[in-house]
Chains A and B, each alone.
Chain A
Amino acid sequence: MAVLADSTKSFAHPIEHDHEAHLREEHLMLDPRPRGEMNAMVMEAMTTTSWKFWAVAAFLAVVVVICLGYYWGYMITSGLGVAGINRPIYWGIFLVNTVFWIGISHAGTFVSALLKVFKAEFRRPFTRAAELMTTFGLVQAGLSIFMHMGRVWLSYWLMPYPNERGLWPNFHSPLAWDFLAINTYLLSSTMYLFMPLIPDLAMARDRSTGWRKSLYRVLALGFRGTEGEWAHLRFAMNLFAFAILPVMFSVHTIVSWDFAAAMRPGWSSTIFGPYFVIGALQSGISAVAMVLIVVRATMKNMKYFIRPEHLDALGKLMLIISMAWAYFFFNDYLVQWYNGDKWTDLLLHFHEEGPVGWMWLAMLFFNIAVPWATLWNKSIRRNPTALFAIGFFVNVAMWFERYIIVPTSLSINRFPFTYQFYKPGVEIPLSFGTLALFILLYMLASRIIPLVPVWEVQEGQMAHSLKKFGNESIITISDLEE
C-alpha cells in the first residue's frame, strides 16, 4: 500500500493536483457525493433540532402574539386613530412595510428564475431557500395591507365584483392593479416554489417514518419520477422561469405607480417603476445573503451545500445592484432637482435637512458607500460575518428609503397649512410583529421543507467536469437542461 502511495506521488504533478483539489473544495458542483448521502444530509439538517432553535422559535412566537395579536386587536377595536396616520400623512409605516416586504419577496424569483434563465450554476443549492423568502415575504406584505385598511373585516371589498350600487373597483386605478398583481405574484411564486419541491418531498417521503412520512406522502402527491412526470414538470418549470419574471417586474412597478400616478411632488416620476424594481432587488438579494449565512451557520451539513463561492457570487450581485440602485436614485433625484418646481425643491430639502435627514444620509451611506467600499474585496464577500453585516445595513437603508418616499414625502405638499410630521404609534410594534412572523415561519418551514433542492444539485454536479487544456484544469459545463 505504501509502495503504491509513493509511486502515485512520484507520478502526479503536485501543482496540478493542488489546483484540482482546490477547485473541488471551492465548487460544490465539482465536489459530488452519492445522491443517497446528500439526501441523508438534507434530511438530517431538517430533523436535527436543538433546544436553542425552539427557544428562539418560542421567543418569536411570543413577539408575534404580542406585537401582531395584541396590538392589531387593539387597533381594530380602537380604530386607526391609534396609528400615527393623520392628515396629510394617510400612508404610513404600514405601506412602508408593504413595499419593503414585496421588495424582499423579489429575491426568490430573481435568484430562482432569472439565474435559471441565464443558466447561472451557482444558484442551484439555494434557490429554494430564496423562494421561501418570496412566499413568506408576500405574506407579510399582505398583512401590512390589511393593517393599513383599518376595517380589515371589509377587506373583501377589494375583490373585483360589483357592490349593491353596481359599482366595480376602478380598474384604471393602480390600487386595483395592486390587488391583481400581488395576488398573481403570490399564487405564481407559491406554485413555483411547490413544483420543484415535489421530487424532494418524494425523497423525504422515502426516508421518513411516523408523522413525517404521512405528511410527505400527502405532499408528494404520489410522485415517483416517471419519464412523464419529469417531462411535465420540466416544461412547467421552464415556462414558469420565463413567465414569472415579467410578473415579478410588474408587481413592484405597479407598487411604484401607486405613488408615481399621483400628482404629488417627489412622487410623479416616470422612472419610479425601474427604481422600485432595483430597490426591491437591492434589499431582496441582501436578505437572501443574510438568510443563507444564518442557515449555513445554524443548520447541520449546510456548509457542504452553501460555500464561500455562493457568498462570493451573492456579494458580487449585491455590488452590481447597489451600483444600479445608485444610478436610478441619482437619475430620479437629478431630474426632480433640475425641474425647478417650488414644491419639489422644498420636498428635496426636507428630505435632506428635515427631522429625518439622518435617514436620508444613512440611506445613501449604507446603500452606496458601504457596499462600494467593501464588496469589491473578495475576502470580504466570502466572509459570512462581514457579508451578513453589509446585508443588514443595506436592508435597514432600503427600509429608510421607503420611509422617506412614503410618510416623509407626504409631510410636505402644496398646502403649507397642512404640513405635519409623522409620528408612528402602534405601527412600530406591528412592524416588529411582521418581522418576527417572517423569521418564525421561515424557521418552522426549515424543519419541514428540504431547504436544498437535492435533485437540482445532483443535476448540476452531473453537468460539471474538469477538462484539461494543456496543463490547466478548466471547469466545463454540459447543458443537460436542453
Chain B
Amino acid sequence: MTDKKMLLAIFPDVNPAAVGIKTLRELGIQDDHVDVISGLPITEAMMGRKKHPSHVPTIAFGGAVVGFVLGGLLAFWTPISYPINVGGQPIISGPPSVVVLFELTMLGMLLSTFVGVFLDSKFPNYEPKEYVTEVSDGKIALLIDCLGDDEDKIISALTNVGAESVRQAEAHQL
C-alpha cells in the first residue's frame, strides 16, 4: 500500500502540456486523475481529453421553463383571478402576453445559467487549494493524482517532455 500524492507540473505552453497528458496516459495515469489549470479557456480537444461534463445547459433549460411558467402565471393567472373589466375588452389577450412570457423566460434562463456556473464550479469556494500563480501569467499546470511509487517516473517523464517543474502540490489560501 503506497500513499497517494498530488503532483503539480507546470508547462510553458499548451503544446507541451498536451504532450504531457499523453505521456501520463502512457504511464497508466487515467484522465480523471489529471486536471488542467490554465489562465486561458483552452478546450478539452486541444489537450486531447474528453469534454468536461457540465450541468449548466440543463440548469439553464430548467430556469427557462420556470421563467416561462412564472410569466404564464403573471400574464394569465393574475387577470383571471383578479379580473378587471376595462371597457369590455377581453380579460386575457395573446399579443401582450407574449412580452411578459418572453421577458420572464429569458430572465429565468439567464439567471439559472449564472447560478448553474456557481453550482457546477462550486463557487464561491475560499478553502485552500492546489494552485500556482504562474497560471494566471500564462503557464499551464497539470494536477496529477498518483501513487507515491509513481512519483519519480512521472517527474522524469514530464520533465523530458518540457515541464518547467514538477513538484508536490500544496494546498494554500488563494
Determine if B19 is an interface residue (Cβ-Cβ < 8 Å). Answer: no
The answer to whether B37 touches A224, judged by C-beta atoms less than 8 angstroms apart, is yes
The answer to whether B107 touches A187, judged by C-beta atoms less than 8 angstroms apart, is yes
Nearest CB of A to B135, in Å? 6
- A199-239 CB contacts (< 8 Å) to partner B: 199, 202-203, 205-207, 217-218, 220-236, 239
Closest to B138 in A: A35
| Distance between Cα atoms of A354 and B127 in the complex (Å) | 67
The answer to whether B74 touches A160, judged by C-beta atoms less than 8 angstroms apart, is yes
- CB-CB under 8 A from B117, the residues of chain A are 195, 232-233, 236
The answer to whether A221 touches B106, judged by C-beta atoms less than 8 angstroms apart, is no
Determine if A243 is an interface residue (Cβ-Cβ < 8 Å). Answer: yes
The answer to whether A191 touches B123, judged by C-beta atoms less than 8 angstroms apart, is no
Known interface pairs A172-B96, A232-B116, A240-B113; A184-B41 also in contact (CB < 8 Å): no
- CB-CB under 8 A from A160, the residues of chain B are 74, 78
Known interface pairs A226-B36, A231-B52, A231-B54; A171-B106 also in contact (CB < 8 Å): no
Nearest CB of B to A232, in Å? 5
The answer to whether A195 touches B114, judged by C-beta atoms less than 8 angstroms apart, is yes
Interface of A is mostly: helix
The answer to whether B123 touches A236, judged by C-beta atoms less than 8 angstroms apart, is no
Choose, from B42-50, B147-155, B156-164, the stretch at the interface. Answer: B42-50
Determine if A177 is an interface residue (Cβ-Cβ < 8 Å). Answer: yes
- CB-CB under 8 A from A340, the residues of chain B are none
Closest to A168 in B: B78
| Distance between Cα atoms of A191 and B129 in the complex (Å) | 26
Nearest CB of B to A361, in Å? 36
The answer to whether A166 touches B82, judged by C-beta atoms less than 8 angstroms apart, is yes
Closest to A165 in B: B82
| Distance between Cα atoms of A472 and B102 in the complex (Å) | 50
Determine if B165 is an interface residue (Cβ-Cβ < 8 Å). Answer: no
The answer to whether A225 touches B39, judged by C-beta atoms less than 8 angstroms apart, is yes
Choose, from A63-71, A92-100, A244-252, the stretch at the interface. Answer: A244-252
The answer to whether B174 touches A205, judged by C-beta atoms less than 8 angstroms apart, is yes
- CB-CB under 8 A from B121, the residues of chain A are 221, 223, 228-229, 232-233
Known interface pairs A171-B75, A246-B106; A187-B111 also in contact (CB < 8 Å): yes
The answer to whether A244 touches B110, judged by C-beta atoms less than 8 angstroms apart, is yes
- CB-CB under 8 A from A36, the residues of chain B are 137-138
Say which residue of A34, A250, A458 sits within 8 Å of B103 (CB atoms): A250
Known interface pairs A222-B123, A254-B99; A236-B39 also in contact (CB < 8 Å): no
| Distance between Cα atoms of A481 and B107 in the complex (Å) | 25
Nearest CB of B to A15, in Å? 32
Nearest CB of B to A202, in Å? 6
| Distance between Cα atoms of A365 and B100 in the complex (Å) | 38
Determine if B56 is an interface residue (Cβ-Cβ < 8 Å). Answer: yes
- CB-CB under 8 A from B49, the residues of chain A are 227
Determine if A370 is an interface residue (Cβ-Cβ < 8 Å). Answer: no
Nearest CB of A to B47, in Å? 8
| Distance between Cα atoms of A242 and B25 in the complex (Å) | 37
- CB-CB under 8 A from A343, the residues of chain B are none
Say which residue of B38, B52, B107 sits within 8 Å of A184 (CB atoms): B107
Chain B 13-48, CB-CB to A under 8 Å as 1, else 0, gives 000000000000000000000011111111110110
Nearest CB of A to B32, in Å? 11
Nearest CB of A to B140, in Å? 9
The answer to whether B129 touches A224, judged by C-beta atoms less than 8 angstroms apart, is yes
Closest to A188 in B: B110
Known interface pairs A187-B107, A226-B36; A458-B138 also in contact (CB < 8 Å): yes
The answer to whether A455 touches B111, judged by C-beta atoms less than 8 angstroms apart, is no
| Distance between Cα atoms of A36 and B39 in the complex (Å) | 11
Determine if B2 is an interface residue (Cβ-Cβ < 8 Å). Answer: no
Closest to A230 in B: B41
Say which residue of A167, A171, A195, A206 sits within 8 Å of B100 (CB atoms): A171
Determine if B170 is an interface residue (Cβ-Cβ < 8 Å). Answer: no
Which of B46, B126, B138 has the most CB atoms of chain A within a 10 A radius of its CB?
A: B138
Chain A 447-482, CB-CB to B under 8 Å as 1, else 0, gives 000000001001100100000000000000000111
Closest to B173 in A: A217
Nearest CB of A to B31, in Å? 10
In the complex, the 9 A-B pairs of residues with the closest C-beta atoms, listed nearest first: A35-B138, A36-B137, A222-B125, A206-B133, A231-B52, A221-B123, A221-B124, A203-B136, A172-B96
7 further A-B pairs in the complex, CB-CB below 8 A; given A221-B124, A225-B135, A459-B41 = A181-B99, A187-B107, A202-B174, A217-B126, A246-B102, A455-B40, A459-B40
Complex A-B: 14 CB contacts under 8 Å? A36-B137, A172-B96, A172-B97, A187-B110, A187-B111, A188-B110, A191-B114, A203-B39, A222-B174, A227-B37, A232-B120, A233-B117, A239-B57, A482-B43
CB within 8 Å of A: which residues of B?
35-44, 46-47, 49, 51-52, 54, 56-57, 60, 74-75, 78-79, 82, 84, 93, 96-97, 99-100, 102-104, 106-107, 109-111, 113-114, 116-118, 120-127, 129, 131, 133, 135-138, 174
CB within 8 Å of B: which residues of A?
34-36, 39, 160, 162, 166-168, 170-172, 176-177, 180-181, 183-184, 187-188, 191, 195, 199, 202-203, 205-207, 217-218, 220-236, 239-240, 243-244, 246-247, 250, 254, 455, 458-459, 462, 480-482
